[in-house]
């Protein structure tokens, strides 16, 4: 019996997707620091182009802070219809190369091209070229034998580049890699690892599996494998969305329940329109989210199969009762779906790009 050949996995990540579309559609913006998002006092950036990033502007940054760091920053309003249209063109390019496509968001996806005789790197080059031809936008790619390595590699030669981690190059690639590049390692986990003298994947590799499990529990076992570039997860083309929601941050605080009702009703109407696209899904629950002016937040949720307005109004009232007289700065309304047997769940598409 012979071992199966290594898989060829490509992670495609568009370069500053939203901002790149705005620059393409408005050539006069080329070469200038551009961001996309809300420009009001409470607006946040969804993404920033590379010219803006030189000033420290980044996704999820409050607009006022970004403008303070880069006074010449041009903030363009969000145009999701345009971004979805371009994303569809990109998906059509993917489909020419493989049926094994696992989208992560509008602007990135995993592709399994193991059936191609050509190298993964050459296939990635063709895909990137066809994306550019179809959209006049650039993409970066990571190529490896698994999803972990491919995703990390796609960030290596951004923008408009690609990087391959070969089977015999995994050990060297992982040795000096920061643990912050690994899934599940956020700021708090990285701080905890740093206190244990662990900064790189090479540092992790110095510890036995039993020791990592003793010190970090279940995550220690995962850390042991991830630090060695090990990841057996297949590319999964069939994935389901587990929720649909929308929310809005208001320029002025909502000071009472009565004032919040028509605002939530507007969000609920938008939600109902969005649900028209998901008629085949069974609703499990409805929820309302409130964020207060001290940045605390609460979510009120009830099981239901029908997203009736009367239920959302009741959820809103219950949320206000938790406010302790605080004013509200954000409202959200959504539903969660029943899980479909045989399909893994996918998180709601994120509003913020990570490039």
**Mean pLDDT per 10-residue interval, the chain, length 355 residues:** 78 95 96 87 82 91 91 92 93 95 90 95 97 97 97 95 95 93 80 91 94 86 93 82 85 89 91 77 91 87 91 94 82 86 34 34
Q: Calculate the CA dihedral of residues 146, 149, 154, 155 and round it to 10 degrees.
A: 160
**Residue with tokens 């296939």, as numbered in its chain:** 123
pLDDT for 185: 80
User: 160 — alpha (psi -120 to 50), left (phi > 0) or beta?
Assistant: left
What's the order of all strands across the beta sheet hosting 243-254? 243-254, 328-337, 283-292, 297-303
What positions carry a catalytic annotation?
108
pLDDT for 301: 96
Q: How far apart are CA 1 and CA 186, in angstroms?
A: 41
Q: How far apart are CA 296 and CA 291, in angstroms?
A: 6
Closest by CA to 299, choosing from 284, 309, 286, is 286
Question: Counting beta carbons within 10 angstroms of the beta carbon of residue 335, is it exposed (0 to 12), middle (13 to 18) or buried (19 or more)?
Answer: buried
Full set of structural domains in the chain with CATH: 1-167 (3.30.70.270), 183-226 (1.10.150.20), 243-338 (3.30.1490.100)
């Amino acid at each position: 019996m012979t071992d199966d050949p290594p898989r060829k996995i490509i992670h495609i990540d568009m370069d500053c997707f939203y901002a790149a579309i705005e620059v393409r559609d408005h050539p006069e913006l080329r070469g200038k620091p551009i961001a996309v998002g809300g420009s009001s006092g409470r607006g946040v950036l969804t993404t920033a182009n590379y010219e803006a990033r030189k000033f420290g502007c980044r996704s999820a940054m409050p607009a006022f802070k970004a403008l303070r760091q880069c006074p010449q920053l041009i903030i363009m309003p969000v145009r999701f219809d345009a971004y979805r249209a371009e994303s569809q063109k990109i998906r059509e390019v993917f489909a020419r190369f493989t049926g094994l496509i696992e989208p992560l968001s509008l602007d990135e996806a995993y592709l399994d091209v193991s059936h191609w005789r050509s190298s993964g790197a050459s296939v990635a080059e063709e895909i990137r070229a066809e994306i550019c031809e179809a959209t006049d936008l650039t993409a970066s790619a990571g190529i490896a034998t698994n999803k972990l390595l491919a995703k990390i590699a796609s960030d290596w030669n951004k923008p408009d580049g690609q990087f391959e981690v070969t089977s015999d190059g995994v050990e060297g690639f992982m040795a000096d890699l920061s643990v912050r590049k690994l899934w599940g390692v956020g700021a708090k986990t990285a701080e905890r690892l740093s206190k244990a003298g662990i900064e790189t994947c090479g540092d992790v590799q110095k510890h036995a599996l039993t020791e990592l499990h003793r010190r970090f529990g279940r995550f220690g076992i995962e850390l042991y494998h991830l630090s060695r570039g090990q990841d057996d997860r297949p590319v999964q083309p069939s994935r389901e969305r587990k929720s649909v929601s929308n929310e809005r941050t208001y320029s002025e605080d909502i000071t009472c329940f009565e004032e919040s009702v028509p605002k939530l009703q507007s969000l609920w109407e938008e939600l109902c329109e969005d649900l028209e696209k998901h008629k085949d899904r069974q609703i499990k629950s409805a929820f309302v989210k409130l964020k207060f002016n001290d940045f605390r937040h609460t979510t009120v949720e009830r099981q239901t199969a029908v997203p009736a307005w009367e239920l959302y109004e009741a959820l809103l009232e219950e949320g206000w009762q938790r406010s302790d007289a605080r004013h509200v700065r954000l409202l959200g309304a959504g539903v969660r779906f029943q899980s479909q047997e045989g399909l893994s769940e996918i998180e709601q598409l994120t509003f913020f790009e990570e490039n």
